[in-house]
Amino acid sequence: MFKTETYKTRREKLAKDLGGGLVLLMGNEESSMNCKDNVYPFRQDSSFLYFFGIDRPDLGAIIDIDEQKTIVFGNDLSVEYIVWMGPQPAIADQAKAAGVDNTAPYAELHEYLSAAVKKKREIHYLPPYRPENVIKLHKWLGIALDDITDKASETLIKAIITQRSVKNEEEIREMEIAVNVSGAMHVAAMKAGRAGIKEAQLTGIVEGIASGCEMRTAYPVILSVNGQTLHNHYHGNTLQPGQLVLGDFGAESLMHYAGDLTRTFPVDKKFTSIQKDIYNLVLDAEVKCIESLKPGVKYMDTHLEASKIMANGLKDLGLMKGDIDEAVASGAHALFFPHGLGHMIGLDVHDMEDLGENLVGYAEGQERSTLFGLKSLRLARTLEPGFVLTVEPGIYFIPELIDMWQADKKHEAFINYDKLKDFRSFGGIRIEDNVLITDDGHRILGDPVPKTVDEVEALRG
C-alpha cells in the first residue's frame, strides 16, 4: 500500500469536490471460472484500490460526506476458510493502514444504505461492470436492473476521473516498475524468437517473467505473426522465416499499475527492405509524436499528426496517393491505421474505461468522431502534467478490410489498391511506449526498450 496519508488525502479531496451526500465504493468478489471454487485470479476494483488500497475480495466502503464518516465493510475470515486459504490480515488493520478507523461486518453495508434510501439521501455510486455488483446495487438501492448504469453518479465519476488522471510520485514510481518488467518481457521475446518456435512458447516466456516478479500481465498477451489483427490472442502459429512478430504485452505491478508496451521484430535476424521501410514510418510517427508531447497539446492533434506522417510515408512507397491532408481528413489512411494513437494508463491498462471512455478521454463539448479509425481514438483531450498515456501508432495490412474497401471502391482517390496485392501476408507493425506528461514536457517511463531497426536487429543477432 501507499502511505496512509495518500489515501486520506484522496478521500478528503473527493469529499470536498462532491460537497455532500454519501459515496458508495464497491470492491470486487472472487469470480468463478467454471465452478464456484475454481476462480479467475482476483482483481480488486481500481477505484476501490485508489481510495482504500485494500486488495482482497468482498469489501465495500462508504464515505459519508454529510456525517464526516468513512467505513470499510467486510468480514474477517472464519477458521474454516483459513484452513483452505491461510491466515489473512484483519480488515481493521488494513483499514487503519488506509487511514480508516471504522470497520463493520459486510451485512451492515446493506443496512446503512437502506437507512439512507429511506431518508432519500443522495447516494453516489460508480457504474458497475461486474454482474454481481449490478445485482447488489439493485437489491440495496431498489433501482431496476436495467437502470443501474444510467443512475450511476456522473458527479462522482467526473470527480474520480479528475483525480485519477493526474498521477503522483508514488504512482509514477509504481508505473515505472511495471514498465521495466514489461520491457524485460519484450527483450526476452525478441531474444528468443526464431523460425520454428511457436507463438505459445514465446508467450510462456513473457508470462513467466511477469510471474517470476510476483506480477501478472496487465491484459491478455498479444503475440502474433498476424499482427494485423489488433487484439490477437491466438498463440497457435509457428514462426516462419520472412514473418514479423508483433508483441503487445505488459506487466501489472504488485499494486496493480499497468505497463503496456508493443514491439515488432522480424523472425529472421534482419528486417527485409520493405519491412524496414514500413517499420521506420511507424517509428518516425512514434518518436516525433512523443517528442511533441507537453501540457497544452491536444492529443487529437497528435493522433492526426501521426496519421499524416505515416500516410505521407505510404505515399512515398506508392501505397497511397493524392493530397495527404485530404486523405487523412476523409479517413482513407485508416485502412492502414484503424485504431487510436493511445489512451490513458494507470491502475487500468485503458485507465478508468469502466467510468466511461468519453468522460476520460474527451473534454466537455469535444465530440467523438464516427469515422472509421478516428472513432477508436480513446484519448483526444488536452494533456496536463501528471497524465500518463500510451503512444502506439501502427501500420497494418488487413486482407479482409482491403478486399471490402476495394470492392466498395472506397477512397480510390487516395489508395493504390493494385499495389496492395503484394502485402496480403505482410502482417502489422505497432510500436508503443508509456509516457508521463511533466510540467514542461514529457518523459518516457522505464528504461529504454530497443526500438530502432539497428537496436532490434542487434538483439536478434
Considering only residues 207, 260, 305, 433, which one is a binding residue for Mn ion as defined by CB under 5 A? 260
Minimum distance, C-beta of residue 405 to ligand GLY, in the bound complex (Å): 24
Minimum distance, C-beta of residue 376 to ligand GLY, in the bound complex (Å): 10
Distance of CA 406 to the CA centre of its chain: 33
Interior angle at CA 24, CA 348 and CA 93, nearest 5:
80
Tell me whether residue 174 or residue 260 sits nearer to ligand GLY (CB atom): 260
Minimum distance, C-beta of residue 414 to ligand GLY, in the bound complex (Å): 26
Tell me whether residue 171 or residue 260 sits nearer to ligand GLY (CB atom): 260
The region, left, alpha or beta by phi > 0 then psi within -120 to 50, assigned to residue 409 is left
Among the listed residues 276, 343, 340, the one whose alpha carbon sits nearest the alpha carbon of residue 313: 276
Tell me whether residue 228 or residue 262 sits nearer to Mn ion (CB atom): 262
Helical (H) or strand (E) element with 51: helix 46-52
Minimum distance, C-beta of residue 348 to Mn ion, in the bound complex (Å): 11
Q: Please give the backbone phi and psi of residue 142, each rounded to the nearest 5 degrees, phi first.
A: 70, 30
Minimum distance, C-beta of residue 218 to ligand GLY, in the bound complex (Å): 8
User: How many angstroms separate the CA atoms of 362 and 419, rounded?
Assistant: 37
State the residue for C-alpha cell 445485482: 135
Minimum distance, C-beta of residue 198 to ligand GLY, in the bound complex (Å): 21
Tell me whether residue 268 or residue 286 sits nearer to ligand GLY (CB atom): 286
Binding mask 422-461 for Mn ion (x = CB under 5 A): ----------x-----------------------------
Residues in contact with 35: Cβ distance below 8 Å, sequence separation at least 6, in sequence order: none
Among 5-13, 23-31, 185-193, 253-261, the segment contacting Mn ion (CB under 5 A): 253-261
Q: Please give the backbone phi and psi of residue 298, each rounded to the nearest 5 degrees, phi first.
A: -90, 120
Among the listed residues 363, 71, 428, 87, the one whose alpha carbon sits nearest the alpha carbon of residue 231: 428
Counting residues that bind Mn ion (by CB under 5 A) gives: 5
**434 touches 390 (CB < 8 A):** yes
Distance of CA 261 to the CA centre of its chain: 11
Among 42-50, 159-167, 247-255, 280-288, the segment contacting Mn ion (CB under 5 A): 247-255
Among the listed residues 93, 106, 109, 117, the one whose alpha carbon sits nearest the alpha carbon of residue 21: 117
Among 48-56, 144-152, 225-233, 385-393, the segment contacting Mn ion (CB under 5 A): 385-393
Tell me whether residue 353 or residue 384 sits nearer to Mn ion (CB atom): 353
Minimum distance, C-beta of residue 306 to ligand GLY, in the bound complex (Å): 14
Beta 216-217 vs 69-73: how paired, if at all?
A: unpaired
Among 86-94, 101-109, 164-172, 260-268, the segment contacting Mn ion (CB under 5 A): 260-268
390 contacts Mn ion (rule: CB under 5 A): yes
Distance of CA 174 to the CA centre of its chain: 15
Tell me whether residue 174 or residue 248 sits nearer to ligand GLY (CB atom): 248
State the residue for C-alpha cell 476495394: 406
Minimum distance, C-beta of residue 262 to ligand GLY, in the bound complex (Å): 6
Among 197-205, 246-254, 292-300, 308-316, the segment contacting Mn ion (CB under 5 A): 246-254
Sheet holding 123-125, edge to edge: 102-104, 69-73, 60-64, 22-26, 123-125
Report the partner that residue 275 touches, choosing among ligand GLY, Mn ion, none (CB closer than 5 to 8 A by kind).
Answer: none
Q: Which residues bind ligand GLY (CB under 6 A)?
A: 219, 248, 260, 343, 349, 392, 432
Minimum distance, C-beta of residue 343 to ligand GLY, in the bound complex (Å): 6
**334 touches 371 (CB < 8 A):** yes
Tell me whether residue 219 or residue 417 sits nearer to ligand GLY (CB atom): 219
Report the partner that residue 372 touches, choosing among Mn ion, ligand GLY, none (CB closer than 5 to 8 A by kind).
Answer: none
Minimum distance, C-beta of residue 232 to ligand GLY, in the bound complex (Å): 11
| Sequence-ordered alpha helix ranges (H) in 334-391 | 357-361
Distance in Å from the first CA to the final CA of the chain = 42
Tell me whether residue 45 or residue 392 sits nearer to ligand GLY (CB atom): 392
User: How many angstroms separate the CA atoms of 260 and 388, rounded?
Assistant: 11
Tell me whether residue 252 or residue 432 sits nearer to Mn ion (CB atom): 432
User: Across-strand partners of 163?
Assistant: none
Report the partner that residue 219 touches, choosing among Mn ion, ligand GLY, none (CB closer than 5 to 8 A by kind).
Answer: ligand GLY
Tell me whether residue 106 or residue 219 sits nearer to ligand GLY (CB atom): 219
| Sequence-ordered alpha helix ranges (H) in 86-168 | 91-97, 107-118, 131-141, 154-165
Name the residues that contact Mn ion, by CB under 5 A: 248, 260, 262, 390, 432
